Amino acid sequence: MTDPQQPEDLYGILGARLDADYAELKARYQSLARATHPDKQGGGGGGGGEQFQRVQRAWRVLSDPAARAAYDRSATAARLSSVAVEDELQLSELDWREDLDAYWRDCRCGDGFVLPREQLTPGALLVQCDSCSLTIRVLVSPDDITGQ
């Protein structure tokens, strides 16, 4: 972990997707615990214990639903604060595109930002342009979702 403000990537440590279910996380943990356990490292003591401890920490957090939810919230907040955002908009400032079943905003590159209806959740959502690296932050209120 290089940035003390950034939470450690626990999913990355286990090599798991952010949406991994409990069974997938457990399988990844068991495989890595066996592979990184200091007793399996064969002498030298070259940091195997440290990697094993990282795997243990990741499993301890991600296997507990409350701890995982808290971790996910803090990791999302850190991501939101560290991404260079081109613009911040209210959902009402985006156009509804029936053909996409999504909200749309033109991008200066000529393509656009697409926010599908099924991704709407209250809060600040980051939406990246489909063609370039620009990102916008879309603020979605609970009323935006219930009013549909």
HSE-up (13 A, CA, CB side) for residue 46 = 5
- Classify residue 5: in a domain, yes or no: no
- Classify residue 4: in a domain, yes or no: no
> Is the pTM higher than 0.85?
no
Q: Find tokens 């909200």 and name the residue.
A: 103
Q: Residue 75 pLDDT more than 70?
A: yes
The pLDDT tens digits for 79-137 are 766 677 889 999 999 999 999 999 999 999 999 999 998 888 888 888 999 898 899 99
Q: Residue 42 pLDDT more than 90?
A: no
- Classify residue 1: in a domain, yes or no: no
Q: Residue 6 pLDDT more than 90?
A: no
Containing structural domain, residue 108: 87-146
Mean pLDDT of the chain: 86
Q: Residue 46 pLDDT more than 60?
A: no
> What confidence score (pLDDT) does residue 1 get?
40
Same domain membership, residue 91 and residue 76: no
Same domain membership, residue 97 and residue 142: yes
> What confidence score (pLDDT) does residue 98 get?
95
Which residue from 61, 58, 4 is spatially nearest to 31, judged by alpha carbons?
Answer: 58
Q: What is the CATH number of the domain that holds 14?
A: 1.10.287.110
Contact 62, 10 (CB under 8 A): yes
- Classify residue 133: in a domain, yes or no: yes
**Of 82, 104, 120, the domain-final residue:** 82
Q: What is the DSSP string of 82-116?
A: HS--SEEEEGGGSEEETTTTEEEEE-TTSSEEEEE
